[in-house]
Amino acid sequence: MPIFEYKGYDQAGKQVDGIREADSPKGLRAALRKEGVFLSEVLAEQEKQARAAAGDIDVKRFVGGRISSDDVAILTRQLATLVGAGIPLVEALTALVDQVDHEKLKRIVSAVKQRVNEGTTLADAMAQHPKVFNNLFVNMVRAGEHSGALHVVLVRLADFTEAQARLRSKVIGTMVYPLIMVLVGTGIMGVLMTVVVPKVTRMFEDMKMALPLPTRVLIFVSHAAQNYWYLILLAMGLGVWGFLAYIRSPNGRAWWDRTVLQMPVFGKIVRMLAIARFSRTLSTLLRSGVPLLTSMDIVRAIVTNTVLSGVIEQSREAIKEGESIAAPLRRSGEFPPMVYHMVAIGERSGQLEEMLLNVANAYDSQVETRMSALTSLLEPVMIVSMGVVVAFIVMSILLPILQMNTMAAH
């Protein structure tokens, strides 16, 4: 059925709007009248797209258009519940269209439902929206449809998506506080250098006396920050832009990924995150019936570090030649011994999925512990760093004063 966006008024005269499926504008008007809503405007999806193409900007689409992993996880869990209750797939998708509040996601679910209603498989219908349903999602759904265990696969997908969203939230949440401290500290230093320090150091410049080196450095930095701040910001912006452009290139990306893995503290966390993602994703795919080579292909695509994804690609080629998964992981030197030993045990015992899941859980736990420890360490380091800068400023101001007192005493 076509999708319509409508605006109208309820019985109390309050303005309402929304999105709903209907056979026609007339059918939508009749259905909403029964609910006490009187339409003032009805806009079909085709009309809306034409209006957007003509330059009519939809503010709501830009402000609330992003679909998060949490939205997809909730949608997957709801679909799993409906399918598990024995509701036919088209009816389950129809119910989802009514339940979803997110405007963009509602359109996508409605488009998926329409394709399924026309005879397309759910996986193929979802594959038309790769920004929402990625390759992993689509292949797992396809495996569930082929095996007749769609409900089980959807539950696993929901668990997997929620676990990834939780881990991402923990990592981001852990880094928010240090980032705020850096921004606040930078702002305070900027105010000191451009407003406070110039007023204090101006009297030293007027005295025409030989100033100590720290004071001369402070005056130089303050003068540059006050008079050339725009050039400093421009240079910083160009530097960041050039760095980002370089690491987007193949050579730059390979160098950056190798460098990140070799960093003293962050390198271990990045490696653990990538290995946890690799293990959990491969376990989920294999448990859902996706073939091993296809699973390795998908996992390689979602591991963003090129060094580790290259190892996974080598493992895939080795598997095609009849080798085990553990052997190329061991040869690479990029995966810790615990990982390839547990993979080897899983392959021998026929419990590879469970072993991979154990690896993922272990590394997720270690990441959480290390991130908490890192945050606890960063706080005093940043406080001490700010204290050192403030002490340098105070010392640079006091030294000339002490020098003048000494000269006056003699």
For 350-401, the pLDDT digits (tens) are: 888 899 989 988 888 888 888 778 777 777 888 888 888 888 888 888 887 7
pLDDT tens sequence across 157-168: 888 888 778 777
**Residue 196, pLDDT score:** 75
**Tens-digit pLDDT profile for residues 177-195:** 778 878 888 888 778 777 7
pLDDT band at 6 (very low <50, low <70, confident <90, very high): low
Give 178's contacts (C-beta < 8 A, 6+ positions apart).
375, 378, 379, 382
Report helix angle 292-302 to 266-287, nearest 10: 150
Domains 69-162 and 166-410 in one fold:
yes
Q: From residue 260, give the alpha-carbon distance in Å to each of 257, 263, 271, 277.
A: 5, 5, 9, 17
| Cβ–Cβ under 8 Å, residues 326 and 335 | no
pTM: 0.65
Q: Which residue has the tokens 């036919």?
A: 88
pLDDT in tens, 69-102: 788 888 888 888 888 888 888 888 888 887 887 8
Please give the distance of CA 230 from its chain centroid, rounded to a whole number. Answer: 31
Residue 322 identity: G
**Residue range 69-162 in CATH 3.40.50.2300:** no
Token match 């503290």: residue?
Answer: 265
Q: Is 61's pLDDT higher than 60?
A: no
The stretch 316-328 carries a mean pLDDT of 86
Tokens of 139: 């292949």
Residue 19 β-bridge partners: 5
CA pseudo-torsion sign 269, 273, 279, 280: positive
Confidence of residue 205 (pLDDT cuts 50, 70, 90): low
Q: In what order do the strands lie in the sheet with 15-21?
A: 15-21, 3-9, 38-44
Helix (H, G, I), strand (E, B) or coil at 288: coil
Question: What is the rounded average pLDDT of the residues 320-324?
Answer: 85
Instruction: Compute the half-sphere exposure of residue 360: CA atoms within 13 Å on the CB side of its CA.
Output: 18
Q: Distance (Å, rounded) from C-alpha 300 to C-alpha 311?
A: 9
Number of H helices, E strands in the chain: 19, 3
- CA 168, distance to chain mean position in Å, is 7
Residues near 215 by beta carbon (within 8 Å), at least 6 away in sequence: 201, 204, 396, 397, 399, 400
C-alpha–C-alpha distance, residues 122 and 132, integer Å: 14
Q: Rounded mean pLDDT of 321-344? A: 88
**Domain 166-410 is found in CATH 1.20.81.30:** yes
Report which of residues 293 and 31 the model is more confident about. Answer: 293
Domain range list for the chain: 3-63, 69-162, 166-410
Q: Report the distance separating Cα 244 and Cα 112, nearest Å.
A: 36
Judge residue 408's burial from the number of C-beta atoms within 10 Å of its C-beta, 0-12 exposed, 13-18 middle, 19 or more buried. exposed
Least confident among 121-135, 215-229, 244-258 = 215-229
**If you ran DSSP here, which 8-state letter would residue 194 be given?**
I
